[in-house]
Amino acid sequence: MTIPSLKLGFIGLGIMGAPMAGHLLKAGHTLFVHTRSKVPPELVDGGATLCTSAQGVAERADIIFLMLPDTPDVEKVLFSDSGVASGLTKGKGKTVVDCSSIDPIATKAFAAKIRVLGCDYLDAPVSGGEVGAKAASLTIMVGAEQAAFDRVKPLFELMGKNITLVGGVGDGQVCKVANQIIVALNIAAVSEALVFASKAGADPAKVRQALMGGFAASRILEVHGERMIKRTFAPGFRIALHQKDLNLALQGARSLGVALPQTANAAQLMQTCSALGFGQQDHSALVKALEAMAQHPVAPDT
């Protein structure tokens, strides 16, 4: 499907935001960007226009994407004096798409404020990490009205493969929290299995190879199991960010009266990693908490 060239904005050009923005630019769209850090040179070379504020992006673009670390960051970018809301002219029918992973309740409040300005708001958190962002294979979980989703979907298809309208605004964030629960528990399970195997004297690489052929096979065992064995913990998705997501899950559980005991355990393992100084490493480094308790690494650090 050919998409006519659109005026797009992208705010937040980190590990995942930069490649996501790059896919929009390569598709021939006009791109206005803003970020706290230096804009990646490939975006500048590709023709992206750097704006000095989020307001500047919103004034120039018709659809504005956000990819930010946490709920307060999104609130600041949207509603500070030079924020997105300041650049949304009432009646222009612009659209804000938040791809960050943040609090579902706050998301609904943000959306209500943006809708007062006559603009649409979609929450569209993503899963797939740096690898998925670079490969344009992200899973995108969307909360929105059907018409707004249909309008933005061709742009989502430039960045992801599995794109689902989960429900109304906020439901995308609920889905992402559920995703992060599953991912964290799987990382913890793979970590325990490999620590056990290595401590028992088996070759963890061979154990992983064998398990990949059976019912225990998973994407986490494939990708993060390899990271644990090869000791490659450069961040695709940082422990600190996954901690934030699990805290959202536990906060939501308290408000709903739901018990999430395994999620709480995974959150404590990540907290242990942060206390040990590993918070900025990839979330597969959760294994280091279990290694510290066992006083035995899955494999030697290289």
Catalogue the active-site residues: 176
Cβ 18 vs Cβ 38: under 8 Å: no
With tokens 């804009």, the residue in question is: 39
CA 182/CA 235 separation, integer angstroms: 19
For every residue of the chain, which 3-state class applies, written as one string? CCCCCCEEEEECCCCCHHHHHHHHHHCCCEEEEECCCCCCHHHHHCCCEECCCHHHHHHHCCEEEECCCCHHHHHHHHHCCCCHHHHCCCCCCCEEEECCCCCHHHHHHHHHHHHHCCCEEEECCEECHHHHHHHCCEEEEEECCHHHHHHHHHHHHHHEEEEEEEECCCHHHHHHHHHHHHHHHHHHHHHHHHHHHHHCCCCHHHHHHHHCCCCCCCHHHHHHHHHHHHCCCCCCCEHHHHHHHHHHHHHHHHHHCCCCHHHHHHHHHHHHHHHCCCCCCEHHHHHHHHHHHHCCCCCCCC
Which two structure tokens, joined as six digits, stand for 1? Answer: 């499907």
Number of Cβ within 10 Å of residue 104's Cβ equals 22
d(CA 132, CA 19): 9
CA dist., res. 196 & res. 143, Å (int): 41
Token pair of 72 as six digits: 């307060």
